[in-house]
Chain A
Amino acid sequence: MTRIIKGVFDFQKNVHGTREQLFKNLGSGQKPLALFITCSDSRISPDMLTQTQPGELFIMRNAGNIVSPYSWDHASGEAATLEYAVKQLKVREVIICGHAKCGAIHGLLNMDKLDALPEVKRWLQFSEPVLAALKRDTEGMSQEEILAIGIERNVLQQLENVKSYPFVREAVDRGELRLHAWVYHFETGTVLAHDQTKKRFVSLSDATKPKFNATKEEIESYIKSHQGGMDLTI
């Protein structure tokens, strides 16, 4: 904890000062580009991964990047956060980003061992629809391979759960909202995205090449601007 408090001191003294204008503007409202839904896992830093600045990503995080499906009589944190992002902030993109080696999905594959974790077990019911097909499709595979495929299938399941909200479907139909399914592999530092036409996950940079790849000049200017401890996400 001392480490964290020290970090706050450092932020107040140094980081904030060097980007004062950006932080001052933060007081005047937010207009985020996207709702980014990801796991609570400490190894994921969405800001770092997407190189976005404060003000750009509205972020929902919980164990397993799970979204409870629409229910007319019960408002969950996921329902409220999704509704606020889409209807109030009018984000144009929803990105659900799973990740390699996810502990929650590991739990999903071992539901019989979760009796000591009743809340986790109940929570994973929103991912459970993937289990039957997963079992069928991964026969004979190693635990590691099954986990990797389970993580991808869970992201797609959560995309379905997001679509169960009437206001999401309406916004998608009007062409005002796009949904994305990603998996972040922190061991290789790459992001895979679900390709709807190929019906499988492909490398995000391959899929979007060449339009969205950073140019040589951009990389150089990035490195230049980040010299001297200016790295925004440390």
Chain B
Amino acid sequence: MLPEQDACLPLASHQGMDAILKGVNLFETVIFPENRGYYEALVDQPQRPQALFITCADSRIHPNLLTGTRAGSLFLIRNAGNIIPPYGSGGTSGEAATIEYALSVLHVKNIIVCGHSHCGAIRAMLEGKLSDEIPSVRQWFTHTESVRRLFVKKKAAEITEEDVVHAVEENVILQLAHLRTHPAVAVGLSQGELNIYGWVYHLGKGKVFGLNPANGEFNSLLEKDAIPLPSLRNRRSGAVR
């Protein structure tokens, strides 16, 4: 088994389901009526999200808060580890279907793969703690096995948060590569109709770092404007890393 989770967050006012039910009631009675016009406008027309945002299921990530967007802006894929299985890697894939829907039906023009610091599952993988107790998690993380291999020489006790962030960055780069294997993504990129981005959100610091195609590093979005990653064609011509 994995070790116990870290201490509970100090959110004492929220106790389990009661808090969630109360929250919904607050939304229904206060927030919705106050923003009725905004919500009603969302329903009248088909959704037109600005981006497909792929991130971890981790409860500490609030994509709308992070990007200053409201309902209607981001189409979301969320799973443990923000993993995208490569196209055709066996089995029916919700990720493949959702990507196809976002690109072919909604004509989304931007895809952001957003990893995050303190990722519990990535840390467990680096520490060799994806045990038989959680076989599905272990098997799912074979989609990021090459990242694990970068750290095999380290003992579990030696894994630092710095290592976790490094692995999270490598995982984002790997999942971007997987993303490119999906036909709709490949076509969109080669036609110049789609931009893809790799981000890492640093919890606790409140900072987002974006993969800079010029140097292959994750730079603060404050320093550099986000630069979309090039299509394979450009990559071959040596424009990036």
- List residues of chain A with CB under 8 Å of any chain B CB: 1, 3-12, 15-17, 20, 23-35, 40-45, 47-63, 66, 68, 71, 74-85, 87-89, 92-93, 95, 100-101, 103-104, 116-120, 122-126, 178, 186-191, 204-205, 208, 211-214, 218-219, 222-223, 232-234
Q: Is the Cβ of B104 less than 8 Å from the Cβ of A186?
A: no
- List residues of chain B with CB under 8 Å of any chain A CB: 2, 5-11, 14, 16-33, 36, 39-40, 42-43, 46-47, 49-52, 57-62, 64-81, 83, 85, 90-102, 104-105, 109-110, 112, 117-118, 120-121, 133-141, 195, 203-208, 221-222, 225-226, 228
- Interfacial chain A residues near B104, Cβ < 8 Å: 116-117
Q: Is the Cβ of B60 less than 8 Å from the Cβ of A33?
A: no
Q: Is the interface of B mostly helix, strand, loop or mixed?
A: mixed
How far is A71 from B36 in the complex, measured between Cα atoms in Å?
A: 43
Partner of A48, one of B60, B71, B120, B140: B71
Shortest CB–CB separation between residue B211 and chain A, in angstroms?
Answer: 14
- Interfacial chain A residues near B138, Cβ < 8 Å: 75
The 8 closest A-B pairs by CB, nearest first: A7-B68, A29-B6, A189-B32, A16-B206, A51-B23, A27-B204, A80-B140, A123-B97
Q: If the complex has contacts A30-B9, A42-B71, are A103 and B26 also in contact, measured as CB distance less than 8 A?
A: no
In the complex, the number of residue pairs spanning A and B with C-beta atoms less than 8 Å apart equals 352
Q: Which residue of B lies closest to A189 (CB)?
A: B32
How far is A231 from B136 in the complex, measured between Cα atoms in Å?
A: 37
Q: Is the Cβ of A101 less than 8 Å from the Cβ of B43?
A: yes
- Interfacial chain A residues near B47, Cβ < 8 Å: 41-43, 103
Q: Is the Cβ of B21 less than 8 Å from the Cβ of A204?
A: yes
Q: Is the Cβ of A208 less than 8 Å from the Cβ of B21?
A: yes
Q: If the complex has contacts A30-B59, A42-B73, A117-B105, are A75 and B92 also in contact, measured as CB distance less than 8 A?
A: no
